[in-house]
Structures are given as structure tokens and as C-alpha cells.
Amino acid sequence: MALRNRALALLWLGISPAHLAQTALAAAPALPPTVQRNPTTTTTGQLERSWRRLDKELRALDQLLPSEPEPPVGNVLATPQLPANLIRANQPASGPIQPADAVASPPLDLPTPQQLQAGSVASLSLEQALAIAFANSATLQAQREQVAAALASFQASMGSYWPTISAFATGGYEGSRSSTTAKQPNNNLGLGPLFAPQGLLTSGPNGTPVPTAGPFYVPNGGSAAVSSGEWGLEGGLQLNYALLDFARTPTVRAARAALEQQRNTYANQLRSLQLQVSEAYYQLQQDEQLVRVYDANVRNDLVLLRDSLDLKQAGLVPRLDVLRRRAIQASDEETLIQALADRAVARRQLAVLLNLPASVTPSPSDPIVVQPRWPLDLETSLLAAYRGNPELEAILATRTALSQQSQATAAGLLPKLSLFASAGGSSSQTSVGNFAIAGGGCCGSTALPLSSTSGGDWSAGLTLTWLLFDAGTTEGQARALAKREAAAAQQYAASRNDIRLRLEQAFFNHEASLAKLSSARRGVAAALEAFRDVRLRYLTGLDSELNLSNTQDRLINALVQRINATVSVNITYAKLLKELLPMPRDPNLPIQPQLQLSSRATAQP
């Protein structure tokens, strides 16, 4: 009985006793020629020793494994309880997505706990997903801002063809207090009696003449102090115009090329975003189907396990069949749990691409429909992909901008002729007062208590500037831009080769996926019929449980392969479409999602 139990254990582990016996015999030492043993006794003893070693190793392995967190399963037909978070993340859609749920949150906001807990699942089609992504994508919105910035820079550079006119005006009040003191008299200048200390005769009290100082005589130490204040206002216009500027036109052309580069980058991002959303949507469709397949497989496992239990109780099948069915059921349950996790992750990946609010989780509403065969051959597809490709056009625009910037930098060594003209006027009012005289007075003159002054002026002329020496700075900058232009040419070649490789990979994989889909359909039909037949044979005792398990595995694999082939057809079609899909260069133009190649995309220029 012990021998039979060990044999069953070896069969359960997938080890053949015959193979183990051969291994043990091969490892046993050779007997001397004179010693003879019973072959049956020798083989049985070696098997017993091998099984004891195996049992010892299994017990040691059991001691290394952690203890079970839950008690053993009592009901073999019961299924384990799934995690609550996993069930919530995989709940079915409550309805189609509403316009209010498709509006992105403010860019600087973080989700609140209430938004994360009050999540809802909304269904949407692929066209709806693309429209939402084009409207909500943060990366796409950032590129729109880049296009607007490049347009503003180009408009600013166009202003260099026009003169600049500026107005200027100044006004204010200035006050001062000044004092003048004579260090010596001024009667030795020979200027006559008006500067002499007794140069004038004036009548005294009795009418007699009395000599007095002249009105302009200043004695030693004479001083005069006065306070003054002035209100002033000045204003005018100034004009500057570059008559000759060799850097102006290249600078404008470089700005125009930079604008084209940003616009083509925007169009290429539209292509990439449509491909990313399509791949995420198709992947979510695949995960949805895989959950259904694996769920049906687990339900079928329960039916087969119940059949095995009934047959064992009737004594028609051994205990080994029930144990194998329980192991298969446990393995399929693990696969189903992982499929549920994959679907939850795929939903979140699509939500991130669509930039949906934190409380909304998307679910696909479109059934899996196979895209048609790609309508173009490989050569025509390549030529159409190269023609007007925004990825290549962006590199060409970058190269043009670098070339024009190099010319504008080199023009810094050439002369520049500018015209300038200005005209304006001024007006001021001066008040003088608070006089103080000491030491005989000083510096007599006519004092105007309040006076005003006004005037005007204008000027015009030409300015010529010519940089004669800058130690090679300008030449080095121009040479660096020329090297960057050459690097852009090599980048164009690399992108051209990448486009061909991507298109060829998608083209060949698309053809292979269509062929595999045809084979997968035939395989599913055959595997389904085989499973029906083997199950009937097993229930009637005409076939073994091992064949039933193998046939069930082949059926599940065939279903999975058909789903994978279908999704692969759609994904490869989307990759081919990305290389030829026409997209607007102007962010202000509407975007119409296209899921299939249109005739306009393949039209010759």
C-alpha cells in the first residue's frame, strides 16, 4: 500500500517510476562478476531507497515554505474570494461616458480622496476615446502652446522691417539755496567809479555831497544768498530705422522655419497620440476578452471537477483524476486573477492617455472587429509615408532655421546703416526769492522773482556700425550653427530609416496576423469539437482525464491565440495608419479621428 501511494505521488509530480528506476540503476555501483542478485529484489530495493530520499527532500522543502495564511480548503468545489480592490477595479460600466466626465481636471490639481473613492466606470468607443485624447492630452496642449510661442516670435521678427518710433518725456521740480562770498574787493579792476568804494556822490542830510560806494562795488567779505526753484517739462519723439541690416532677413526666415518645425511636431504628435490611444484601447479589448475566456474556463473546471468527483464515487476513475482536476482548477484561477489585474491596469493606462478625471475609469464599448487588409502594397506605402511626413518635415524645418541663424550670425561682421531722427520741446518756470545780504553785499545783478523758459529742438542723421574685430567670436558661433545644420541632415537620414523599418515591421506583422487569425479560427473550431468529443468519452469511461486536460488546454490556447491574432491585426493596422495618417499642422483647425486609411492620404501631390 505504501509503495502504491509513493507511486501515485510520483505520478502527481510528473516523475515516471520507470525513469526513476533507470536513474537509480545507473547511479548504483557495479557488482563484482562473481556476485549475483535477484533482479527483482535489486530493482525494488533501489526504488525504495530513491523514494525515501525523495520523500526526505520533499519534507525538507515543506519546512522551507511559509505556513498557509488560510486553513485548507474544505469544499473542493468552492472558489477563493477575490480581493475587494480587484473587484472594484473590474466592475462593469455603469453607462456611456457623459460630456461632463470627459473634461480634464485643471493641470495643477491633485485628486482628492473623495474623487478616488467615488470612482465610476464609463463605456466609450474608440472614436470617442480619440476625440477626448485630442482635447485633453497635456502633452498635446503643451505643443499647442509651443506653436503659439513660435508664431509670436515670427510676428516679432517681422517688425524688424519697420522703423521704431518712441516717445519720451521728463518732468520735475528742482530747488536750491546758493550763497556767494567775495574774498577780496573788486575796486582794483579799473572798471570806473561804479566799482569804487567812493565812486558816487550823494546828497547828505544838509544837502552836501557825500561820497558813497558804486552800485557794483563788493567789499572784502561781502556775501549774498538766494533760494531758487524750477519746474520743468521736456518731451518729444524719436525714430530709428535700419536702412541696411544683413542679419534682418535671415533672422525672419529662421523664425518662420522654427514656426514650421513646431507645427510639424504638433502634427506628428497627433499621429503618435492616435496610435497610443488605439493600442491602449485594443489592449483593453483584449484584456476584456481574456477575462471572459478565463472566467469561462474556471467555470468549466468546476463542472469537470464535479464530474470527476461523481465518477470517483462510482469507482470509475482513480483519485488521481480528482487531484489533477483540483490542481488544474487552482492554476486556472490564478490565471483568471492575473487577467483581472491586467484589465484593471489597462483601464488605468487608457484613462491616463485620455487625461480623464480621477473619478472616471474607461471601459470599451466597441466589440472586437477585425480591421480590413491594408489596401496598399509595401512600396506604395513607403512612398506615401515619405511624402509630406511631419516627422521629416520638422527636421527639414529645423535644418532651415539653423542655416538662416548661421547667416544672421555671420552678418554681424557686416556694416549696418541706421537712420535716426528726433524732435521735442521743453518748458520751465523759475522762481527766485528769500534773499539775504551780509558784509556789504555781493554780486549785485538784476533779480527776476519769477521767470519762464521754453524751447524746442530736433535732430536727424545716419549711424554706421561695423564690427571690425571680435577675436573670432562671431565666426565661431556661425560655424557652430553650421555644424548643427549638418547634424540635422544626419538626423533626417536616421528618421527616414526608422520610418521604413517601422512601416515594414507593421506591414509584415499585419500580413502575418491575418494569416495567424485564419489559422486560429480553424484551430478554435477543431479544438472545440475535440473538447466536446473527449468530454463525452471521459464521462463514458472511454478516455482518460489526462487527454481531457490536454484537450481543454488546447481549446483555451486556441481561444487566446484567436484573440491575440485579432488584436494584433488591429494594432498593426493602426501602426501602418500612423505613418500615413494626414493631420492638420495648425492647432486651431479641427481634428477628425480616422480609423481607416482614406483615399486623400494616398493621393499623389
Q: What is the pLDDT of residue 314?
A: 84
Amino acid identity of 192?
Answer: G
Separation between Cα atoms, residue 350 and residue 352, nearest integer Å: 5
| Helix (H) and strand (E) counts in the chain | 13, 9
Q: What is the pLDDT of residue 6?
A: 40
Write the CB contacts of 319 (distance below 8 Å, at least 6 apart in sequence).
8, 312
Separation between Cα atoms, residue 136 and residue 25, nearest integer Å: 72
Q: Are 74 and 332 in contact (CB under 8 A)?
A: no
Matching residue, cell 505520478: 11
Separation between Cα atoms, residue 602 and residue 582, nearest integer Å: 10
3-state secondary structure 491-529: HHHHHHHHHHHHHHHHHHHHHHHHHHHHHHHHHHHHHHH
Give the confidence band of 7 by pLDDT, cuts at 50, 70, 90. very low
Q: Residue 431: pLDDT above 50?
A: yes
- Ramachandran class of 439: left when φ > 0, alpha when ψ lies in -120 to 50, beta otherwise: left
Strands 95-96 and 120-124: parallel
Q: What is the pLDDT of residue 65?
A: 60
- The C-alpha angle with vertex 504 and arms to 501 and 507, in degrees rounded to 5, equals 150
Q: Residue 388: pLDDT above 60?
A: yes
Q: Are 555 and 575 in contact (CB under 8 A)?
A: no
Q: What is the pLDDT of residue 67?
A: 64
Separation between Cα atoms, residue 11 and residue 320, nearest integer Å: 9
Range 370-392 average pLDDT: 94
- Residue 554, C-alpha cell as written in the block: 488546447
3-state secondary structure 185-232: CCCCCCCCHHHCCCCEEEECCCCCEEEECCCCCCCCCCEEEEEEEEEE
**Among 22-31, 130-139, 337-346, the least confident range:** 22-31
Look at 51 and 428; give whichever has higher pLDDT.
Answer: 428
Q: Give the tens place of pLDDT for each residue, 564-600.
A: 999 999 999 999 999 999 999 999 999 988 899 876 6
**Among 61-65, 193-197, 394-398, 501-505, the least confident range:** 61-65
Range 104-119 average pLDDT: 78
Q: Residue 211: pLDDT above 50?
A: yes
Q: Give the tens place of pLDDT for each residue, 312-331.
A: 888 888 888 888 888 898 89
Q: Residue 272: pLDDT above 90?
A: yes
Write the CB contacts of 400 (distance below 8 Å, at least 6 apart in sequence).
253, 254, 257, 260
Range 520-535 average pLDDT: 92
Range 442-469 average pLDDT: 84
Q: Which helix (H) or strand (E) holds 180?
A: strand 164-181
Look at 477 and 77; give whichever has higher pLDDT.
Answer: 477
Give the confidence band of 30 by pLDDT, cuts at 50, 70, 90. very low
**Reduced to 3 states, what is the DSSP secondary structure of residue 327?**
helix
- Residue 125, C-alpha cell as written in the block: 468607443
Q: What is the pLDDT of residue 509?
A: 96
Q: Residue 18: pLDDT above 50?
A: no
Write the CB contacts of 243 (distance below 8 Å, at least 6 apart in sequence).
417, 418, 419, 462
**Reduced to 3 states, what is the DSSP secondary structure of residue 264?**
helix
Helix axes 473-539, 390-410, angle to 10 degrees: 170
- Residue 116, C-alpha cell as written in the block: 478616488
CA end-to-end span of the chain:
85
- Tally of residues, the chain: 605
- Ramachandran class of 443: left when φ > 0, alpha when ψ lies in -120 to 50, beta otherwise: left
Range 118-123 average pLDDT: 83
Nearest to 461 by CA among 423, 501, 499: 423
- Residue 244, C-alpha cell as written in the block: 541696411
Q: What is the pLDDT of residue 359?
A: 85
Range 127-144 average pLDDT: 94
Q: Give the tens place of pLDDT for each residue, 412-425.
A: 899 999 998 999 99
Look at 287 and 118; give whichever has higher pLDDT.
Answer: 287
**Residue 341 CB-density burial (10 A; 0-12 exposed, 13-18 middle, 19+ buried):** middle
| CA neighbours closer than 13 Å in the CB half-sphere of residue 355 | 20
Give the other-Cβ count within 10 Å of 240's Cβ.
14
Q: For 51-114, give the DSSP string.
A: HHHHHHHHHHHHHHSPPPSSPPPS-TT--PPPPHHHHHHTPPP-EEPPGGGGSPPPTT----HH
Q: What is the pLDDT of residue 172?
A: 92
Q: Are 316 and 536 in contact (CB under 8 A)?
A: no
Q: What is the pLDDT of residue 42?
A: 61
Give the other-Cβ count within 10 Å of 113's Cβ.
8
All structural domains of the chain with their residue ranges? 120-155+250-402+476-602, 167-184+213-244+416-465
Q: What is the pLDDT of residue 21?
A: 37
Q: What is the pLDDT of residue 450?
A: 83
Q: Are 589 and 267 in contact (CB under 8 A)?
A: no
Q: What share of the chain is helix, strand, coil (3-state, %, to 5)?
A: 55, 15, 25
Q: Residue 167: pLDDT above 50?
A: yes
Q: Residue 68: pLDDT above 80?
A: no
- Looking at domain 120-155+250-402+476-602, its CATH class is mainly alpha
Q: Give the tens place of pLDDT for each residue, 532-562.
A: 999 898 888 888 888 888 999 999 999 999 9
Q: What is the pLDDT of residue 514?
A: 95
Q: What is the pLDDT of residue 79?
A: 64
Nearest to 328 by CA among 546, 558, 92: 546
Q: What is the pLDDT of residue 253?
A: 95
Q: Residue 152: pLDDT above 90?
A: yes
What backbone torsions phi and psi does residue 273 show, to the nearest 5 degrees?
Answer: -65, -40
Q: Give the tens place of pLDDT for each residue, 258-267.
A: 999 999 999 9
Q: What is the pLDDT of residue 71?
A: 57
- The C-alpha angle with vertex 49 and arms to 45 and 55, in degrees rounded to 5, equals 140
Q: What is the pLDDT of residue 134?
A: 95
Q: What is the pLDDT of residue 188?
A: 81
Q: What is the pLDDT of residue 20?
A: 36
Of the segments 60-64, 327-331, 521-525, which one has the largest average pLDDT value?
Answer: 521-525
Give the other-Cβ count within 10 Å of 601's Cβ.
18
